[in-house]
Amino acid sequence: MKQYDVAVIGLGIVGASAVYAAAWAGARVLALDAGAPGGGTSGASFAWLNAVRKEPETYHRLNAAGMTAHRELSRELGGDAGHHDGGSLEWAEGADEDRELRERVRRLASRGYPAEWITRARAIGLEPSLAIPDHVREVAFYAADAWLDAPRLIGRLLAAAGARGADIREGATVRSLRSRGSRVEAAVGDDTEMVAQSFLVCVGPATQAFLDPLRVVIPVGRVPGFLAVTSRPAQPLHRVVHAPGIHLRPDAGGGLLLGAEDVDSLAASAGPPAALGEAAALLLERAARVFPSARRVKVVDTRLGVRPMPADHHTIAGRIPGFANAWMIATHSGVTLGPLLGRLLADEIVRGVPSSMLVPFRPERFATAGAAAG
Ligand SMILES: Cc1cc2nc3c(=O)[nH]c(=O)nc-3n(C[C@H](O)[C@H](O)[C@H](O)COP(=O)(O)OP(=O)(O)OC[C@H]3O[C@@H](n4cnc5c(N)ncnc54)[C@H](O)[C@@H]3O)c2cc1C
């Protein structure tokens, strides 16, 4: 039987990043996904790389470090690895919203994050096809923000890991982990068991259900999110834009990617596909108000994803309580954080070097039970 140092379960952006980092560190890696890598939440994400609305400061710093990890990874992989620079723009409507935005820009800038106010004219210089209302005199600009073609990066990470000997298997559902005392001994598949020295669980929104049989309670909720993809507009959009009631960015296929927080819940309760069409039409109507070229595009696709949402909204990354050789990562903002968390946990598992940055984000803060009997 082939020997593995680490088995990574789940190949979204988080697991694929860990597979890459572990293979890079010299480990013999087994990488398993129930479906196609990137086919889960990571393939249905807005994928804005940012640390803009991430509080408290420790979580903001983790996300900012995640953005740095993305830039390093993109340079390391070379060619098109899906990373799109350009920053992001935001403006608000209403006194409360404007006050919140001003306070946020001030707070971010005081932490050294690239956040500033630019004139309306300069914002239009950056995005000539944007219809910023006349009364908006200044726009917030976050120069270091980016967006990611997540499926592309996942493909590149796994190809690079495969070239270093990682054994990557799609359509390989792990039904359970077989454990004895405080050790996980094998990942149990449909008709086979896979043995490794260590296990890393990166199953995104399936985390809680996956860990349940081990009698480990780590509260990771499932929060639906909805996006619409349009055909290619006559005028291009170059970066992420947050306008009142709508956020939009270029999609990897050349169209626009549209979302709005209130439409998420509408779409989640929508039921039949016709209702999803209504949610998409609403997004398109809102987009056309700030990006007039959107009046002549069509919705060509919709994406309904499920966010893995830790109970306190913050990353959970570390050893699974009660187990000596099994680790987990579950996080919102996983597209921003995937490469950083994958690298930090690969360092911990393969090299035995824990990161001080992860101290506030360990699973123990939720743990209520220990290991299952073997
Ligand atoms: C609409 C929307 C907008 C978002 N916007 C942003 C954003 O702008 N910026 C940002 O950073 N984040 C954003 N997020 C959140 C982000 O997309 C997620 O945090 C991230 O994709 C989670 O990645 P993951 O690898 O943990 O999970 P996933 O991508 O879901 O990957 C988990 C994988 O595990 C596999 N799996 C599950 N169970 C098993 C099993 N039993 N055996 C084997 N494999 C299994 C699945 O097939 C899947 O491929 C958004 C999410 C949504 C839905």
CA distances in angstroms from 14 to 48, 49, 112, 153, listed in the order given? 15, 14, 27, 11
Per-residue confidence (pLDDT) for residue 104, from 0 to 100: 98
Which residue, chain included where needed, has tokens 């000596």?
A: 324
Q: Which two tokens stand for residue 358?
A: 């992860």
Work out the mean pLDDT of the chain and round it to a whole number.
Answer: 95
User: pLDDT tens digits, residue range 200-210?
Assistant: 999 999 999 99
**Residue 374 pLDDT greater than 50, yes or no:** no
Closest ligand 1 atom to residue 303 Cα is 1
Q: For residue range 23-70, what is the model confidence (pLDDT) as tens digits? A: 999 999 999 999 999 999 999 999 999 999 999 999 999 999 999 999
Q: Which atom of ligand 1 is nearest to the CA of 336?
A: 11
pLDDT of residue 177: 98
Which atom, in ligand 1's list, is nearest to the CA of 226?
A: 1
Residue 322 alpha carbon to ligand 1 centre in Å: 25
* Dist. CA 204 → ligand 1 center (Å): 5
pLDDT higher than threshold 90 for residue 97: yes
C-alpha dihedral over 296, 277, 307, 268, to 10 degrees?
A: 150
Q: Residues 156, 14: contact at Cβ < 8 Å?
A: no
How many Å apart are CA 177 and CA 188, to the nearest integer? Answer: 6
Distance CA 20, CA 156 (A): 9
- Please give the distance, rounded to the nearest whole angstrom, from the Cα atom of residue 40 to the centre of ligand 1: 5
Ligand 1 nearest-atom number relative to CA 306: 53
- Look at residue 368 in the predicted model and tell me its pLDDT: 54
32: Cβ contacts below 8 Å, ≥ 6 apart: 7, 8, 9, 10, 11, 169, 172, 174, 187, 189, 194
Q: For the chain, which domains are there? A: 6-64+150-219+311-365 (3.50.50.60), 88-143 (no CATH), 221-307 (3.30.9.10)
Whether the predicted pLDDT of 281 surpasses 90: yes
Whether the predicted pLDDT of 369 surpasses 80: no
List the residue whose alpha carbon is closest to atom 7 of ligand 1: 47
Cis omega (within 30 of 0) on the bond before 363?
Answer: no
The amino acid at residue 288 is A
Supply the pLDDT for residue 370.
45
**Separation of CA 206 and ligand 1 centre (Å):** 9
Q: Mutate which of 8, 30, 42 to test ligand 1's pocket (most atoms within 8 Å of Cβ)?
A: 42
